[in-house]
Structure 1
């Protein structure tokens, strides 16, 4: 069996030049997003969400992008979860998409805010019934006795609601990451990757620079 250090891949699919990219970071994300969707990547909206507590302790996990526009990138979760606690202490975060099929990565760093109650309600009612029940059943990130405890909670909620509408829990909703720095990474041969970074300026325009790989 090969050693871990011997595992490598040389990236050769595409290139990325300053002349190829949009003037706006979100518009450039849209270009890459459409190409990723067209490539039929499995769970194309999966992204790493990195957070940190007020004293700088980091944490990261995979969450799902549920929308993006000029205001930012939206995801939903339990506000009382560990990530919710960290975002409450330190409303700064980073998102990372890795689309290996396209040899691409996007890193988005910015400021976190909660979406409106209306947005959270609208998304919650669009979820499958089981997911809505799960939002009530799971005290996310808390220690629980066993799997049976969770399944009992779910069964109790099914008995209460049946096929009726399940309301959004008060502790559940959306966050929006407002981008400040966005990096587009395109894999290249010999580890000489293309890295184009956008930095938001005070007047609202984006400064575009190339980073060394």
Structure 2
């Protein structure tokens, strides 16, 4: 253990005291009663000094600030160093030329291996601040055009972000397969007809909930809420599907010793040709 300079000095002082006391005691002739008392006091001082030496050597180190703000929180390491990824591999010849088809292959395997394979992190960024916000949502549809989620587009943070910046990213993590997929692309609203078609598949409570998601707006009475379920419930104007049209899709397969397999599909426009690159781990 490496000790701070002040602690080393303290150890040296206590050690010198112990040494001098021990030397003096050993050179005394046969003790008189008074000398015996002095010897006893010397022995007590010696024991005390030795205890201080031991305490100084074994006491925990003072916490060292980890940042300029002067906080003293200790760094914590959460991942065990021996943890390894050994459940699969990914080679170029395994990949479909179309990332949507490749994703669908992986997604079917994830559905068979993990709960809520459709859960993803949707990240958006507000401009001009550049502030990023993320949330867990569910992928509801996947077509050759892209990935579709549903949400409130009037009052949510994502709606505010997308009004200033249409770009977003998705991240899927399937721990049981040691796989991750990242999608970067441009967002667009799907048509009201498409949103209504999905909306009609939801339960009555969920459809009413979509209307209630316009939180804090004034309504006349409780009967207004309950009356929505007595006839066809139209999809709210502020609620619907958001399609992320991919410009970049990365497939990540964990490998042993952190030598992961990573492949990216990239294109310059939402209708462009895909290029496939292997990336460094």
TM-score, normalised with respect to structure 1: 0.87
Return 5+ residue gaps in structure 2 as ranges: 1-74
Partner of residue 203 from structure 2, selected from 103, 110, 128? 128
The aligned residue for residue 118 of structure 2 is: 45
The aligned residue for residue 105 of structure 1 is: 180
- Whether 1:204 aligns to 2:279 is no
Q: What is the CA-CA distance between 1:166 and the residue it aligns to?
A: 2.1
Q: Distance in 2 between matches of 1:93 and 1:198?
A: 16
The aligned residue for residue 5 of structure 1 is: 77
Segments of 4+ in structure 1 off by > 6 A?
none
SS for the counterpart of 1:16 is coil
Q: What is the CA-CA distance between 1:161 and the residue it aligns to?
A: 2.7
Q: What is the CA-CA distance between 1:38 and the residue it aligns to?
A: 2.3
- Whether 1:78 aligns to 2:148 is no
Per the alignment, do residues 153 and 129 of structure 1 end up closer, same or farther by CA in structure 2, a change over 3 Å counting?
farther
The aligned residue for residue 189 of structure 2 is: 114
Higher relative contact order (CA 8 A, sep 6+): 1
SS for the counterpart of 2:107 is helix
Q: What is the CA-CA distance between 1:169 and the residue it aligns to?
A: 1.1
Q: Is the 8 A contact 2:126 2:165 kept in 1?
A: yes
Return 5+ residue gaps in structure 1 as ranges: none
The structure with more strand, counted as a fraction of residues: 1
The aligned residue for residue 17 of structure 1 is: 91
Per the alignment, do residues 168 and 212 of structure 1 end up closer, same or farther by CA in structure 2, a change over 3 Å counting?
same
SS for the counterpart of 1:123 is helix
SS for the counterpart of 1:60 is strand
Q: Distance in 2 between matches of 1:7 and 1:154?
A: 53
Q: What is the CA-CA distance between 1:155 and the residue it aligns to?
A: 5.3
The structure with more radius of gyration? 2
Per the alignment, do residues 160 and 204 of structure 1 end up closer, same or farther by CA in structure 2, a change over 3 Å counting?
same
Provide the aligned length of Structure 1 versus Structure 2.
202
State the superposition RMSD in angstroms: 2.3
TM-score, normalised with respect to structure 2: 0.67
Higher mean alpha-carbon deviation, 80-89 vs 203-212, is at 203-212
